[in-house]
């Protein structure tokens, strides 16, 4: 009886700790530490959009930057937007038991092919990760042009309403 209770308690503690340390990317305006979206109007029909993510991959940060561009497109009275420039950069933060911190740049990409970067880990002899914690923070910056009516043929042209609908469908 004592062992079952002890094991149940340990399992509960591990579950709670895992829940506290896991991270979920949230779509939000940039806060005090700069995580989230920000934007700046460059011309009547042109914006700079940035999304800085924490503990996620470049693809999710890109999705959120595109979502913000879509919201701005609709808010400004346009129907579609074209991405004229894209930059993806990221940093990997590794913290080990001695609280030493190592930060490496892991991506600086101007292509839509940037994705998540594989994580390397150190394992103890029993296969449990005991030496370090690792996370990746990404920033995606876009320059977007807004338009109405017939969309041009370039690959990086998006219907703003479709981007928003796709995001809302993925949430459900």
The answer on pLDDT for 162 being more than 60 is yes
Are 49 and 69 within 8 A, CB to CB? Answer: yes
Q: Which helix or strand (DSSP H or E) is residue 131 part of?
A: none
For the ranges 3-12, 23-32, 73-82, the lowest mean pLDDT is seen at 3-12
Q: What is the mean pLDDT of residues 29-34?
A: 79
pLDDT digits (tens, 9 = 90+) for 127-153: 443 445 556 788 999 999 999 999 888
pLDDT digits (tens, 9 = 90+) for 53-112: 887 788 889 999 999 999 999 999 999 999 999 988 887 766 655 444 444 444 444 444
CA triple 43-47-52, angle to 5 deg = 155
For the ranges 15-19, 32-36, 75-79, 102-106, the lowest mean pLDDT is seen at 15-19
| DSSP label at residue 45 | T
């Amino acid at each position: 009886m004592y062992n079952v209770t002890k094991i149940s308690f340990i399992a509960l503690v591990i579950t709670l700790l895992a829940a506290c340390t896991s991270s979920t990317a949230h779509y939000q305006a940039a806060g005090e530490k700069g995580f989230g979206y920000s934007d700046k109007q460059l011309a009547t029909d042109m914006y700079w959009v940035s999304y800085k993510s924490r503990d996620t991959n470049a693809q999710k940060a890109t999705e959120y930057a595109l979502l913000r561009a879509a919201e701005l497109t609709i808010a400004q009275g346009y129907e579609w937007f074209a991405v004229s420039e894209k930059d993806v950069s990221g940093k990997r933060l590794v913290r080990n038991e001695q609280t030493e911190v190592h930060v490496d740049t892991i991506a600086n990409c101007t292509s839509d092919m940037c994705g998540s970067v594989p994580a390397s880990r150190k394992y103890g002899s029993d296969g449990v990760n005991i030496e370090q914690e690792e996370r990746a923070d990404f920033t995606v910056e876009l320059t977007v042009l807004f338009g109405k009516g017939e969309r041009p043929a370039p690959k990086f042209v998006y219907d703003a309403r479709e981007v928003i609908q796709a995001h809302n469908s993925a949430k459900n």
